Amino acid sequence: METIFALGTGAGRAAIAVIRLSGPGVCETLSAFAGGLPEPRRAAFVTLRDPDKGEPLDQGLAIYFPGPHSATGEDYAEFQIHGGGAVIDGVLAALSRRPGLRPAEPGEFARRGFANGKLDLSQAEALADLIDAQTEAQRRQALRIAGGALRRKVEGWRTSFIEALALVEAELDFSDEADVSGVDIARLAAILDVPHAEMLAALERAPAAERMRDGFLVMILGRPNAGKSTLLNALARRDLAIVSATPGTTRDMIEAHLDLDGLPVTFVDTAGLRDAADEIERIGVDRVLERVETADLALWLSAAGEEPECVSGVEIVKVATKGDLVGAPSGWLGICAKTGAGLDALLKEVSDRAKAKMGDGGSALLIRERHRSAVAVAAAAVDSALAPDKELEFIAEDLRSAARALGRIIGAVDVEHVLDAVFSRFCIGK
């Protein structure tokens, strides 16, 4: 096993930088750079030296976590040094000159932690989510899964399936007539009923949880000049989109990511909907109509009270714009992006709808499509196992496939390609 190292902190000007090391060469590297081995799990203030030249590289903190009690499960160390680019480069360059040491691949620290049982796949993914979390609700969700909430549930369900499978297999071994179900179905059901009900409940909450990860998508729609870009800028409190009196100004979709009461909501400014003569504008309109299909909500903007057109299959809130010039018809939510009037009411409306769609997503378990589809497979297999008049062989096969599906969530079975996909998306140093 090679010893790996990487900068664990971000690029750019910062006061402190952390360089992480993991693997069998950690002790020797620490001694060579820090002049000795620090007491385990205690920060030591040391002068780091380039072992080849004896030249000081920085004064910093060195920490040694002997394996297996470390984040990777291997011997692990950190140099916490000054954040300057030259300091970081100097230490990294000196490390890469050491035999047996090499720079880490993206996600390689987490992957070693996974290989050594420090975390399962659901936890590793959630750590990546935690790094990406933009709002409080997203952070809570990621932190619960990173803490092992899904892992424990899935392991519990899987244990039940394996226990039930053992019953069936014992019966298979004893009976010479495998087609007669000698196994006590009531006993099987007693083992499987609770996990089965819990899986169905978890599946029901999965869409809310996935939404929480991805954010609630709101499209701002309307005819050209309705005031869509002006609204986006007002919501983002920044000049993101070009505003002009010329109809057809916006062609590309422009996003603003907002945090509404801790929930992630993305607003998208769009090209005004009309039968455009201009080719570029028409492409813009086509893209909008395509994306609306995946949206959670559409705001239909109009100053003149024109009814929504070209939009179907998505919930619509009608927003009357330019309140300083014209009044809002009844049934419309009136705003004036110029003065800010009505924006709070609009945000409240959106936030209420977002809450309704992902309200309890923060406490849900299945936060990815990968989790949801695996549990759906497992639940269907348990259903099938409990069907009346099943042959033992088939019950056993159902239970095996249920256990296998769950094993995929935690990374216990056939997951090499999943592992590559998951860990390679991590940043280097994670």
Report the nearest approach of Mg ion to the CB of residue 229 (Å).
3
Question: Is 363 annotated in some ligand binding site?
Answer: no
Among 6, 18, 183, 209, binds ligand FFO (CB under 6 A): 18
Residue count, binding to Mg ion (CB under 5 A): 4
Instruction: Quote the CA–CA distance of 193 and 170 in Å, as a whole number.
Output: 21
**Among positions 3, 22, 29, 70, the unique one binding ligand FFO when judged by CB under 6 A:** 70
Among the listed residues 67, 247, 262, 359, the single contact to ligand GTP using CB under 6 A:
247
Member of 2, 24, 40, 69 binding ligand FFO (CB under 6 A) = 69
Dig out the tokens for 145 from the structure: 């899964």
- Where b means 16+ CB within 10 Å and e means fewer, 319-331 reads bbbbbeeeebeee
Nearest to 187 by CA among 384, 380, 385, 375: 385
Residue 410's nearest CA partner among 195, 120, 46 is 120
Q: Please list every residue from 208 through 227 that binds ligand GTP, using CB under 6 A.
A: 222, 224-227
CB of 249 to ligand GTP, least distance (A): 4
Q: Which of residues 188-247 bind Mg ion (CB under 5 A)?
A: 228-229
Query: b/e map of 150-164 (b: 16 or more CB within 10 Å)?
Result: bbebbbebbebbeeb
Tokens of 19: 């360089």
CB of 338 to ligand GTP, least distance (A): 4
Q: How far is residue 335's CA from residue 321's CA, in Å, rounded to a whole number? A: 5
Q: CB–CB of 229/269 below 8 Å? A: yes
Residue 187: contacted member of ligand FFO, ligand GTP, Mg ion, none (CB under 5 to 8 Å, by partner type): none
Instruction: State how beta strands 16-22 and 76-82 pair.
Output: antiparallel
Hey, which residues between 75 and 94 contact ligand FFO (CB under 6 A)?
Answer: 78
187 annotated as a binding-site residue: no
Q: Is 430 annotated as a binding residue?
A: yes
Print the binding letters for residues 71-90 with ligand GTP: x by CB under 6 A, - otherwise: --------------------
Residue of 72, 80, 229, 302 interacting with ligand GTP (CB under 6 A): 229
Closest-CA residue to 80 (of 2, 3, 18, 4): 18
| Nearer of residues 181 and 250 to Mg ion, judged by Cβ | 250
Q: Give 18's strand partners.
A: 80
Nearer to Mg ion, 211 or 228 (CB): 228
Residue pair 145/122 in contact (Cβ under 8 Å)? The answer is yes
Q: Is 302 in the site for ligand GTP (CB under 6 A)?
A: no
Between CA 282 and CA 262 the distance in angstroms is: 36
Residue 165 in contact with ligand GTP, rule: CB under 6 A = no
Binding mask 105-134 for ligand FFO (x = CB under 6 A): -------------x----------------
Of the pair 244, 424, the CB lying nearest ligand GTP is at 244
Beta strands in 50-158 (DSSP E): 56-65, 76-82, 101-103
Q: How far is the CB of 419 from ligand FFO (least distance, A)?
A: 18
Interaction partner, residue 248 (Mg ion, ligand FFO, ligand GTP, none; CB < 5-8 Å by kind): ligand GTP
Report d(CA 246, CA 271) in Å as an integer.
Answer: 12
Give per-residue burial for 99-128: e unless 16+ CB within 10 Å, then b: eebbebebbbbbbbbbeeebbbbbbbbbbb
Q: If residue 421 lies in a helix (H) or strand (E), which one and from where to where? A: helix 416-424
Rank residues 75 and 78 by Cβ distance to ligand FFO and give the closer one. Answer: 78
Cα–Cα distances (Å) from 29 to 13, 92, 97, 100, 204, in that order, read: 27, 12, 11, 10, 51
- β-pairing verdict for 263-269 and 44-49: unpaired
Is 234 marked within a binding site?
no
Does residue 72 have a known ligand-binding role?
no
- Rounded-to-integer distance, Cα 370 and Cα 315, Å: 27
In whole angstroms, the minimum distance from the beta carbon of 22 to ligand FFO comes to 10
Q: Which does 118 bind (CB under 5 to 8 A by kind): Mg ion, ligand FFO, ligand GTP, none?
A: ligand FFO
CB of 301 to ligand GTP, least distance (A): 7
Point out the residue whose Cβ comes nearest to ligand FFO. Answer: 69
Task: Determine whether the annotation assigns residue 135 to a binding site.
Answer: no
The one segment of 67-75, 196-204, 292-300, 322-330 that binds ligand FFO by CB under 6 A: 67-75
Interface with ligand GTP by CB under 6 A: which residues?
222, 224-230, 243-245, 247-250, 272, 321-322, 324-325, 336-338
Interface with ligand FFO by CB under 6 A: which residues?
18, 65, 69-71, 78, 118
